[in-house]
Amino acid sequence: MSEEKKSIKGGEFIIKEAKVEDIFIAENWGEEEIMMRDTCYDFLEAEIFPDLERIDKMEEGLMPSKLDKAGALGLLGVSIPEHYGGFGKNFNSSLLINEATGSGHSFAVALSAHTGIGMLPILYYGNDAQKEKYLPDLSSGAKKACYCLTEPGSGSDANSGKTKAVLNTEGTHYILNGQKMWITNGGFADVFIVFAKVDDDANLSAFIVEKEFGGITLNPEEEKMGIKGSSTRQVFFNDVKVPKENFLGEREGGFKIALNILNIGRIKLGAAALGAMKRTTTQAINYANEREQFGLQISKYGAIRYKLAEQAIKNYSLESALYRTGLNIDQATDELLASGMEEAEAKLKGVEEFAAEAAILKVYGSEALDYVVDEGVQVYGGMGYSADAPMDRAYRDSRINRIFEGTNEINRMLIVDMLLKRAMKGKLDLLGPAQAVQKELMSIPDFGDQDDSLLAAEGRYVANFKKAILMAAGAAVQKLMQTLAKEQEILMNISDMIINTYVAESMLLRVKKLISKVGEEEAKLQTAMVQTYIYDVADKINKSGRDAINSFSEGDEQRMMLLGIKRFTKVAPFNVKEARQAIAQKLISENKYVF
């Protein structure tokens, strides 16, 4: 009898050594996916980049017309089943499309809002009649969608919203009243996914609301720091008559819809950030090769080469973690489908399984993009501060991503909270491995014969990073118990350890898989990138661990754990300058991001 294969569970990366064969690497995209990606690139070059100024000036009808053209190419229906006019692609393929359109500035925001939070609630929670009615028009772009959750008094605390829905005496319509704000695509949307409380319910419900129902009014467009071309309005619902057939999902199930759609939005934001990062990195390389100072191209100077190489490492590391998670989601979904689960539910459960990883990618991606655009401005120097150069828009547009889909602070705390809840429900065994680490602290380290093959040391470092997480988190849970949820600084310290470890392992697995495919020589620069990243991140994990431990322990316990953090984050000397020089030289010679 063959043993049934079980896909990896969400959060298990902390307690298990992942296998190279279980991850997807971007070097393995097939012809069809590459063609879809290139279609997106061609669309941006033809339709978006030449009109960035017009888009930012909110020219009437321009953004909807761009979405129409994207719809004609099929870019709005990548995740939608063919039955409803889409392509029915898997989750990882949909991430690739988000990446490929992610450098489209305000257009990327409008596209993501429409195809993600606008359409997916209907796809995943709508009944057959609702899907038949709305998805074909949304997939083609004939109708545009938006998502109405945030209110003036409810941001991160979404369930505190005050928008109300009351069933009329005839029992035919819900009468909707309330106010929503920061609604992307609000100015031109035809379909609104609206969250409201029915009567005196404690929790939100969801509704599909059409503009044609009447009673919807809009405030003027918000003036924003960045993404100026995306429509952002306050929306008012004044006695809007919503047919009872447009109730979405279960009563009081709106908060669950919101959370699950946000999980998808978080990882897709990471994908869009990657697309923006790649373009910004290429622009920085181009400028460094063009600009001369003191008789030399500035790309010949070490300080600039450091920046270019570090931008490349950020790109490569995010991409590694992104498509690793995308494959995990697809594997979990396929397993659920094979068990007989209905398709929409299986896809939702697949993403929900990796909600912590989605939050990791949202935080890491948005902060990596901020780094890349900031250094992009610096490479451009004075021109970087000019509105005539591309870094001005890239810098301003980037900043919203640390707030979108839940602030990075909220997401950091969610990462730890979700993993601990999985442990308490018996879905993730953190206790056993944490206790094993505590025993290891009391033992003499084993310095026996060790594998000295390429990247073997980095594998040991990542394994030790996981021990550092288990030690710090386990002790914090044991010491603080129920009050840990209020210790936000400690939660964020532990979360940073988790984020850096997940990305480091993802990058390591990718490079190992690449080496098996092309050989050590062909992958030497990717090897240099992962070695540099792990060397640097060891210090960050050390600092986060020490800060957490010093916050809740003292005496012998504290000294023991600090020694443990030192042991678990120790790495051998490595010449990062030489590695970055080699990476930068490749970028400079190719005059673009090439990895």
Q: Which residues are catalytic?
A: 405
3-class DSSP assignment, residue 224: coil
Name the DSSP class of 220: P
3-class DSSP assignment, residue 180: strand
Residue by residue, DSSP assigns 84-123 as GTS----HHHHHHHHHHHTTSTHHHHHHHIIIIIITHHHH
Q: By the 8 A CB rule, do 352 and 293 touch?
A: no
β-bridge partners, 258: none
Longest dimension (CA), the chain: 81
> Residue 27: CA atoms inside 13 Å, Cβ hemisphere, count?
19
Q: By the 8 A CB rule, do 119 and 80 touch?
A: yes
- For 323, the token pair is 């498509």
Name the DSSP class of 452: -
* Rounded to 5°, angle at Cα 326 from 226 and 434: 105
Q: Which residues of 442-474 are buried (b: 16+ CB within 10 A; e: fewer)?
A: eeeeeeeeeeeeebebbbebbebbbbbbbbbbb
- For 151, the token pair is 């209110």
* CA distance linking residue 61 with residue 66, whole number of Å: 9
- For 289, the token pair is 């090769």
Q: By the 8 A CB rule, do 539 and 461 touch?
A: no
* CA distance linking residue 113 with residue 522, whole number of Å: 39
Q: By the 8 A CB rule, do 438 and 474 touch?
A: yes
Question: Which DSSP helix (H) or strand (E) runs through 483?
Answer: none
Question: Which DSSP helix (H) or strand (E) runs through 37?
Answer: helix 31-43
Q: By the 8 A CB rule, do 295 and 403 touch?
A: no
User: What are residue 222's phi and psi, to 5 degrees?
Assistant: -70, 140
Name the DSSP class of 154: B
Burial class (CB in 10 A: 0-12, 13-18, 19+), 30: exposed
User: Which of 307, 315, 306, 309 lies closest to 276, judged by CA?
Assistant: 315
Name the DSSP class of 4: P
